[in-house]
Amino acid sequence: MFAIDRAKKVLTLVITCLGFFMVLLDVSIVTVALPTMQADLHVGISDLQWIVDAYTLPFAVLLLTAGTLGDRFGRKRLFLVGLAIFTIGSALCGFAPTLGLLIAGRILQGIGGAALAPGSLSVLAFTFPDERERAQAIGIWSGVSGIALAAGPLIGGSLIQLSSWPAIFFVNLPIGIIAFVLGWRVLAESRNPLAQRADIAGQILIIAGLTALTYAFIEGKTQGWTSTLILTLFILAAVFIVAFLAVEAKASEPLLPLSLFHNRTFSTANGAAAVVGFALLGTVFFLTQYFQGIQGYNALGSGLRTLPNTIGIFLAAPLAGQLTARFGPRLPVTIGAFSAGIALLLLTSISPTTAYVDIWWKLAMLGGGFGLMLSPLTTAVLAVTPPARAGLASSIVTTSRQIGSVLGIALLGTLVNNQFTANITSSLTTRGVPEPVSQNIATAVANAGSQANKLHFPATFPIPMRAVHALLNQAFTNAIHEAFLVSGVALLCTGILSALLLGRGQKVAPVQHDAEDGLIESFESTITALD
């Protein structure tokens, strides 16, 4: 009997690791594929923003509800449903002949990922009731997830070189099918009879509000910032978000208990987590375009060159834990925010021809800063939260960071697109091209982003093609400087606020809580790079 129980535990660990491996692998793979997708699908920067946010937005807004549904209707069921949706979404992405179907597939992946992430951990926690065994299982789960984050750019780059970008989605299909078949037969079902009811009204309002806001930011330049559509979307976003807060304030079982935010440390930590998501995903989004579109590396080369950021995150994580245990979360969060902020400001010096030796250490510094912040932010939140709400508090931090990621892609992408247009217009005008012509050209090529240097101009164009391509490369590089600058300043401000508001000198012991609480601290520290 012991042998059978042991075998089921091992298989459960394998199955849950496979499921969560897909979620994280997909994120890190997609980032290196974006420039290739842009060239093959003939889409612009705003379309790339949708490819990313179509996944991140549903993941962010459904994460809290998914954990509750698993507690009420079955954690095994939640995990398998998430696995099925994610796998179907991957197939749709791989076979998608158009941008619209690709985005639809990404939405399905985001929905499935929102169920898979809490589902995998809650199944593990139930299967390993012994605290020591559970700690070992979660340690393995975290390690496998870390491998997915680090290996994603390498696997993605290799698949793109051997085949094309659809291969990065097809790789999920055998993993998903095997995990689903094994999970159906092996995983044990569990529920929490005391779990709260799903807050349907709150869920609908937050989905509507964030979707309207994201659409307005991404499409504002294309549709016109003062167009009826965009202004209406901004108004609707404000109405939905205010209504969401009003509903949550009165709900007996709210999706987001606003009372938790009355605590200064809780609010500060969640705000800092949102800034981390804002800066981290936005940085990677543009760095992959810079390495491929501007410096000419292939997808694999680009993936390799962004690895110092990921490695920095994981190398800094153990140090963050030690500093938190000794000095409290305030010190590592403050140091991390300043480190990441300074690294981003240093990245504003890169040019189209900057040697990698002058870039890699800045990326490592950036990742190290993020690594110092992530786990201590969760620890700070758990330290001021009642034990019965520890799982909820941890998932709120994750949701805050994911919402930051959504807004980072939307806002920074729009900023870069606008700045790129202005840079092109200015550069062409100073070289003798009439301003109306310069503006038309800028509008035509700006949305091509880092792929603009592949465009061709008429032979009668007054500027040689080599000079035009150099101009476009410099215009795009200068535009992403703005994104690095905004993100860097946001992180420096976060560092200052953390030093002033985040639990001064508060030493925090590791927090233990029951599997019934939902997501636990390991989830937040492991899902770090879901950006």
Coarse DSSP helix, strand, coil percentages of the chain, rounded to the nearest 5 percent: 80, 0, 20
Residue 298 three-state SS: coil
Q: Let me know if 303 is exposed, middle or buried by CB neighbors in 10 A (0-12, 13-18, 19+).
A: buried
Confidence of residue 522 (pLDDT cuts 50, 70, 90): very low
What is the rounded average pLDDT of the residues 71-87?
A: 89
What is the rounded average pLDDT of the residues 328-357?
A: 96
Higher per-residue confidence, 44 vs 516: 44
What is the rounded average pLDDT of the residues 128-143?
A: 74
- Quote the CA–CA distance of 424 and 422 in Å, as a whole number: 6
Among 127-141, 228-242, 384-398, top mean pLDDT goes to: 228-242
What is the rounded average pLDDT of the residues 356-365?
A: 96
Higher per-residue confidence, 106 vs 161: 106
What end-to-end distance do the CA atoms of the chain give, in Å? 43
Q: 460 near 468, Cβ under 8 Å?
A: no
pLDDT digits (tens, 9 = 90+) for 454-510: 666 666 677 887 888 888 889 999 999 999 999 999 999 999 999 999 875 455 544
Is the predicted pLDDT of residue 104 greater than 80, yes or no?
yes
Buried b (16+ CB within 10 A) or exposed e, 116-144: bbbbbbbbbbbbbeeeeebeebbeebbeb
Lowest mean pLDDT among 127-131, 207-211, 371-375: 127-131
Average pLDDT, the chain: 84
Confidence of residue 165 (pLDDT cuts 50, 70, 90): very high
Higher per-residue confidence, 307 vs 135: 307
Lowest mean pLDDT among 180-194, 255-269, 354-368: 180-194
- Quote the CA–CA distance of 335 and 482 in Å, as a whole number: 23
**Cβ contacts of 104-108, under 8 Å, gap ≥ 24:** 104/54, 105/169, 106/51, 106/54, 106/55, 107/54, 107/55, 107/58
- Among 380, 410, 413, smallest CA distance to 394 is for 380
The most distant pair of C-alpha atoms in the chain lies apart, rounded to whole Å, by 84
Would you state the torsion angle of the CA atoms of residues 315, 317, 321, 326, taken in this order, to the nearest 10 degrees? Answer: 60
Confidence of residue 391 (pLDDT cuts 50, 70, 90): low
Q: How many CB atoms lie within 10 A of CB 462?
A: 12
**Residue 4: per-residue pLDDT:** 43
- How many angstroms separate the Cα of 267 from the Cα of each of 271, 397, 501? 6, 10, 9
- Among 367, 356, 364, 358, smallest CA distance to 291 is for 356
- Among 155, 152, 480, 39, smallest CA distance to 290 is for 480
Query: Tokens for 77?
Result: 């069921």
Q: 321 near 380, Cβ under 8 Å?
A: no
What does residue 162 show for φ and ψ, rounded to 5 degrees? -80, -30
Please give the single-letter amino acid code of residue 63.
Answer: L
pLDDT digits (tens, 9 = 90+) for 227-247: 899 999 999 999 999 999 999
Lowest mean pLDDT among 68-72, 92-96, 121-125, 518-522: 518-522
Is the predicted pLDDT of residue 516 greater than 60, yes or no?
no
Helical H segments across 329-359, by residue range: 330-347
What is the rounded average pLDDT of the residues 287-292?
A: 91
Is the predicted pLDDT of residue 412 greater than 70, yes or no?
yes
Stretch (H or E) spanning 286: helix 264-289
